[in-house]
Amino acid sequence: MRMFRFSGSMQHLVQDLSSYAETWVDLQGEVLIETQDEQLQVDPGDIVTVSAESVHRFRNRGQTNLRMLCIHPSPTIIEEFV
């Protein structure tokens, strides 16, 4: 697991090369999560899971700092930033 905190328009664009899905819990702030197929507007308390081997990104869409908990069901985080 890891915790993300950021504000403004910072982006996280990843090609997840692992064989596991990635899950986020929005703890604070409003976030836009995008995959190849869809866009989700996520609010505090929402939980989102992205399938394995998918390109995805998230952007802070609010005025406050964003805090997200990222869960990788693996002892090693496997990802490639693109």
pTM of the model: 0.75
pLDDT digits (tens, 9 = 90+) for 1-27: 455 555 554 445 555 555 778 899 999
Strands, DSSP E only, in 1-82?
2-6, 11-15, 22-28, 31-35, 39-42, 47-50, 55-60, 66-71, 80-81
Walk across the sheet containing 47-50 and list its strands: 2-6, 66-71, 22-28, 47-50
- Give 64's DSSP letter: S
Strand partners, 71: 23
d(CA 54, CA 46): 20
pLDDT digits (tens, 9 = 90+) for 22-69: 899 999 999 998 888 899 999 999 999 988 877 788 888 888 888 898
